Amino acid sequence: MKRTSLASLRDEMRAVARGACAPPPRPAAQLLATLSPEALELLGIVLRERPATIADVVRLTGRSQPNVSRSLQQLAGHGLVRLVRTGREVRPEPLVRTLRVDLSEGTYETEPAAAPA
């Protein structure tokens, strides 16, 4: 494992924030464990349908609300979706459209989702 000083980490984070360089790839093992066929279906629905609420996702998938909520929370934990609360409603927003996994390195990179039309 490569050791890096705090100063170089800070400089790298600032460069990424400015857009001067891409963020480094992230470890993929936990993400891959999360990406079941059901989770991939949820991601596709959130990207294609842009549901207004989790209840809409439940209706579109036929899955139970606790199951959908739990899956979306896991995807949010990996930065693939954002859960936006408005009053009592929660809306899933896609953050990622493309996911590239490098199996030889065990890392992944993402490309952002397009803004809703």
- Residues 52-75 have pLDDT tens digits of 999 999 999 999 999 999 999 999
Q: Looking at the predicted structure, is the pLDDT value of residue 1 above 50?
A: no
Residue ranges covered by each domain of the chain: 35-117
Average the pLDDT over each of 14-18, 28-32, 58-62, 68-72 and give the range with the smallest value: 14-18
Once rounded to an integer, what is the mean pLDDT over residues 73-82?
92
Nearest residue to 25 via CA among 85, 97, 109, 102: 109
Residue 117: predicted pLDDT: 58
Once rounded to an integer, what is the mean pLDDT over residues 79-86?
93
Q: What is the pTM of this model?
A: 0.73
CATH 1.10.3720.10 applies to domain 35-117: no
Side chain identity, residue 97:
R
Residue 80: which pLDDT band, with cuts at 50, 70 and 90?
very high
Residues sharing a CB contact under 8 Å with residue 53, sequence separation 6 or more, in sequence order = 89, 90, 91
